[in-house]
Structure 1
Amino acid sequence: MGTKFLEGNFAPVSREHTITELAVTGHIPDFLDGRYLRNGPNPLSEVDPAAYHWFMGDGMVHGVRLRDGKAEWYRNRWVRNPAVSATLAGEDASRFCGLDALGANTNVIGHAGKTLALIEAGAPIYELTEELDTVGRCDFDGTLPGGYTAHPKRDPRTGELHAVSYSFGMGNKVQYSVIDAQGRARRTVDVEVTGSPMMHDFSLTEKHVVFYDLPVTFNADMAVAASVPGALRAPAKLVLSAMVGKVRVPDPVTAMMSRKLGANGGLPYRWNPRYPARIGVMPREGGNGDVRWFEVEPCYVFHPLNAYDDGDAIVLDVVRHPKMFDTELHGPDEGGPTLDRWTVDLTAGKVLEERLDDRGQEFPRVDERLVGRRHRYGYSMSADGGATPGGSLFKHDFSTGSRQERAFGGGRQPGEFVFVPSHADAAEDDGVLMGFVFDPASQRSDLTLLDAGTLETVAAIHLPDRVPNGFHGNWVESV
């Protein structure tokens, strides 16, 4: 039994490159001084296609350095967690399993002068050098142990990182945290949820934190089947059930089981139709007792586009999947994800759910200067079923309700695109959109720069290899 998540441009690349001579078509704007970085799964060792889940592959960060109108280098590097380091050194990496074996494969950001490769679910995150070599694990100078998230949000006013983290080991709690501009946690809040959900992302407004408590939850059966011999599965299930809040067990037992999870197995989260779908709203300086919960129709949200306060309401623009990990257990593919708007009426205690665009799409992004504030534009990638890239980039205008589409043609597949303004005070679409585009004909990828206003190509930086379908990238400006 194969999986499309190991075929085509989902397949891993086998080489690390350091390229300082890059061909460029078009003109790289002079205002770009920094690195475009993107993370994604790239299994180093051979994996079992029947068991492999796209989210579980070893992390590989790709980066292009732009300065003075030139592309100075392209590099791609595996994130060196213990298992990857052992494999590259020719050692037996099988002793590494569980959370320590999960590669930081989901996002990559710059914060407080550091480059950070991110993942969720309590697994370690890693600091990288400017050139993308691995420095080591990051716990924000010891101020935030226990893992982080793939989706922090930077407050454009303070420069602080806000985040919501989850892990099956946390039971029925998730943790909201604020990392200050110097890179240390200044505030954490544990928030009780219904069970043990996969809370991939959250939303931030100027006044509120929004939690998505949705019916994809930790599944003890899957975790045990992936990692525990048959005779031990019944006691192992009891331990895992205890870890998600049913029974208290000693910490050493919890640690032992977490080491066993994930050994060449699938993601232990699955659609749970018995779990209530709801969103929680907490004042930014509030605590667990201040969270208000609002029911929504059952669905799953990996990625909100943005959120903002609007009088006595909160507006949430989200990519909504009808369900997730129900029949397809190798990656997201449960029907077309749509762009929806949820308006939380704080006075009436209800959520109005509207469909903004029914075309399949994912990886929504907004001008980062407007995180938590009212936005006019948003960008997304066309997607079939949930993860397979389509051939287009969408630009949504929320003031007119219109959508522009940029098709790349020739079977080319764009990944997530990010917006970079032409200067600090530039208008909301005055700048460039940048992202990797894969060309199946040449089996190579370009870092493509588009004019954010017109969606016309400004420049294409031609890479020597392809960048496999992955997750999230960011522009990290030089300081």
Structure 2
Amino acid sequence: MADQGVTTGTKGAHPLTGGLFAPVHEEVTAFDLPVTGRIPDALRGRYLRNGPNPLCAGDAAGRPWFAGEGMVHGVRLRDGRAAWYRNRWVRSDAVARHLGEKVLHGPRHLVDFAPNTHVQRFAGHLLALVEGGALPYELDSELDTVGPFDFHGTLPGGFAAHTVVDPASGELHAVAYCPARPSAQYLVAGVDGRVRHHVDVPVEGRPMMHDFSLTARHVLLYDLPVAFSDGSGGHGFGWDPGRPARLGVLPREGGPEEVRWLETDPCFVFHTANAHERDGVITVHLVRHDRFADERFSEGRFAAGPGGARPAHLERWTVDPAAGTVRRERLDDRPVELPRVDPRRLTADHRYAYAVHERTDPGRAGFGRGLLKYDLARGTCEEHPVPPGGDVGEGVFVPAAPGAAEDDGWVLAFAYDAGRAASDLLVIAAGDFAAGPVARVHLPVRVPVGAHGNWIPDPLYGAGV
């Protein structure tokens, strides 16, 4: 049996490499998983989530958590049952060599790294994603690595951790950055899987631009006071109090000279939920950190946890490019992160959003104390808390059917069960959120605290296994 428990990491290791952040050390395949409750018949597909999982235990003490090699965890649901669980490292060159395997063929750019942040299905390709100059890696339906992917030779540089598939056009949008370049790159890939549009937007001082926002007409760029330091190799970044905070508004088909930069209060935005516009005014829902990484990284270690020393909160920004203003409104005092919406509502007005109620207590066991559902029209919030000693990650909304109502579906998330010393896949009915899961899929192992994931419905794979 693979590592099921909670390890503390090596002596002197950073807290984000121990506890529920500690890596697992084996790849596992398990079939016909036990289930408490009933998995809805409409859930036919794979729930996949990526996250850092260092190959070597010794690596954990010397590298930041986010620099660990990517491992994708997946659960296959069909016919009301959990057919399998798999976890697989993404086979970059270094991972393949470490595991004694043959290095895979394919393109290479400036940086080769096992993407550890997100996973996205697009144009027939399942892609593991990371920012900072590396290429995506393609995976097959059983999470084995196919090889690096450069959008059929059309990607001009590295890619990004966060993407938006426009529900109207089916095109993939992203904003990529590389600490070695003084620009951010807006990229649009067509439904043929090829990059058809890219814009290099000059930015000074190597800002970290983890996420972006997209509306029907514009892309929003977050140039904020968290930047990379010289000679850090892309690992050392921190809060720069002398750096201005600004929001760039770029027309989708525009050039770099068309960016409208708007000043805002100093802050940092790791993750946005969604953006839309009406009559020239843009509304964005996002999670704002008043400050982040106040101390620069020392020897590649985090100065604070994923939420920084100061909790982050859900906000609504009203952006008026004509007036040159950004107006902020805090929507909740609870510390939150990892916001998501119904993917069918991306770039359009939306009523509901989901987020992790973040832990902020020192020495915390993991990341999330519960999942939240926001009704943005009513200004209300429901919570599904996890039991003491437990933990929960990002919640991903899955609609019940293509034409279902906005909250007619389920929220899927990995949660740690302290009683079993292993993880479950939670299936929560979005329309009855506070009632808790309608099903728990019991995994045979612990899934470490990780990053982002997606639901990949069966029609995108065909029959599969």
Return the letter of the residue paired with 1:399.
A
Query: Is 1:283 matched with 2:293?
Result: no
The structure-2 alpha-carbon separation of the partners of 1:49 and 1:326, relative to structure 1 and needing over 3 Å to count, comes to farther
Instruction: Say whether residues 1:209 and 2:219 are aligned partners.
Output: yes
Map 1:383-422 → 2, pairs under 5 A = 383-385=358-360, 388-422=366-400
SS in 2 for 1:404: strand
Query: Are 2:45 and 1:34 aligned?
Result: yes
Structure 2 Cα separation of the partners of residues 327 and 401 of structure 1: 35
Deviations 1:159-179 (A, max 9, x none): 1100100002222x1110111
Check conservation: 1:194, 1:213, Cα contact below 8 A.
no
Residue in structure 2 matched with residue 231 of structure 1 by the alignment: none
For residues 113-152 of structure 1, what are the structure 2 equivalents within 5 Å? Answer: 113-152=124-163
CA distance in 2, matches of 1:472, 1:127: 16
> Aligned AA for 2:409?
G
Question: What are the ranges of 5 or more consecutive residues in structure 1 without an aligned counterpart?
Answer: 92-97, 224-260
**Residue identity in the other structure for 1:102:** F
Change (3 A) 1:348 1:393: same
Deviation at 1:194, TM superposition (A): 3.1
The corresponding residue for 2:106 is none
What pairs with 1:194-233 in structure 2 (closer than 5 Å)? 194-221=204-231, 223=232
CA distance in 1, matches of 2:285, 2:437: 27
1:334 paired with 2:309, answer yes
Cα displacement (A) at 1:89: 1.2
> Does the Cα contact within 8 Å between 2:396 and 2:454 map onto a contact in 1?
yes
Residue identity in the other structure for 1:423: A
Q: 2:64 aligns with which of 42, 53, 57?
A: 53
The partner residue of 2:236 within 268, 271, 276 is 268
For 1:340, give the aligned amino acid. Answer: E
1:21 Cα deviation after fit: 2.3
- Is residue 165 of structure 1 aligned with residue 176 of structure 2? yes
| Secondary structure of 1:335 counterpart | coil
- 2:54/2:60 contact within 8 Å kept: no
**Structure 2 vs 1, CA of residues 397 and 113 (structure 1 numbering), >3 Å: closer, same or farther?**
same
Any conservation in 2 of the 1:56–1:102 contact (CA below 8 Å)? no
1:378 to 342, 353, 358: 353
Work out whether residues 197 and 214 of structure 1, in 8 Å CA contact, stay in contact via their aligned partners in 2. Answer: yes
- Determine if contact 1:391/1:411 at 8 Å carries over to the other structure: no
What amino acid does structure 1 have at the position aligned with 2:147?
Answer: G
1:309 and 2:277 are equivalent in the alignment = yes
Shift of 1:310: 2.5
Query: Match of 2:105?
Result: none
Residue number in structure 2 paired with 1:357 = 332
1:431 is the counterpart of 2:406: no
Shift of residue 107, structure 1, vs aligned partner: 0.2
Task: Give percent identity, aligned residues only.
Answer: 50
2:97 match: 86
Tell me the equivalent position of 2:451: 471
One-letter amino acid matched to 2:442: H
**1:385–1:276 Cα change, 3 Å:** farther
2:212–2:222 Cα contact (<8 Å) kept: yes
Question: Contact 2:371/2:385 (CA < 8 Å) preserved in 1?
Answer: yes
CA distance in 2, matches of 1:106, 1:25: 29
The residue matched to 2:367 in structure 1 has which SS? Answer: strand
Who is 1:295 aligned against?
263
Q: Distance in 1 between matches of 2:441 and 2:265?
A: 43
Instruction: Classify 1:153/1:90 alpha carbon distance in 2 versus 1 (closer, same or farther; 3 Å).
Output: closer
Q: TM-score, normalised by structure 2?
A: 0.89
Q: Which moved more, 1:47-56 or 1:127-136?
A: 47-56
How far apart in 1 are the matches of 2:357 and 2:379?
A: 17
Q: Find the residue that maps to 2:66 and give its secondary structure.
A: helix
> Per-residue CA shift, 1:410-457, capped at 9, x if unaligned?
322110011111111100000111010111232100111000011131
SS of alignment partner, residue 32 of structure 1: coil
Which digits, 9 at most, give the CA deviation of each residue in 1:369-397, with x for residues without a partner? 00011110000001134995232111111
One-letter amino acid of the counterpart of residue 337, structure 1: A
Stretch of structure 1 that moved more, 309-318 or 9-18: 309-318
- The answer on whether the counterparts of 1:337 and 1:385 sit within 8 Å (CA) in structure 2 is no
C-alpha RMSD over aligned residues = 1.9
TM-score w.r.t. length of structure 1: 0.87
Deviation at 1:477, TM superposition (A): 1.1
Contact 1:317 1:342 in 2 (8 A): yes
Q: CA deviation at 1:49?
A: 5.0
Rounded to whole Å, the distance in 1 between the matches of 2:72 and 2:377 is 36
Corresponding residue of 2:424? 446
Pairwise CA distance, 1:328: 7.1
Residue 352 of structure 1 and its aligned partner are, at CA, apart by 0.6
State the alpha-carbon separation in 1 of the partners of residues 58 and 288 from structure 2. 30
Given residue 344 of structure 1, which amino acid in structure 2 is its aligned partner?
A: V
Which of these residues, 21, 24, 33, is aligned with residue 10 of structure 1?
Answer: 21
Q: Return 30-39 or 342-351, whichever deviates more.
A: 342-351
Q: Structure 2 counterpart of 1:29, which letter?
A: P
1:192 pairs with 202, 206, 210, which one? 202
CA distance in 2, matches of 1:423, 1:322: 38
Taking the aligned partners of 1:4 and 1:211, their CA distance within structure 2 comes to 32
Give the distance between the partners of 1:271 and 1:457, measured in 2 at CA.
Answer: 39
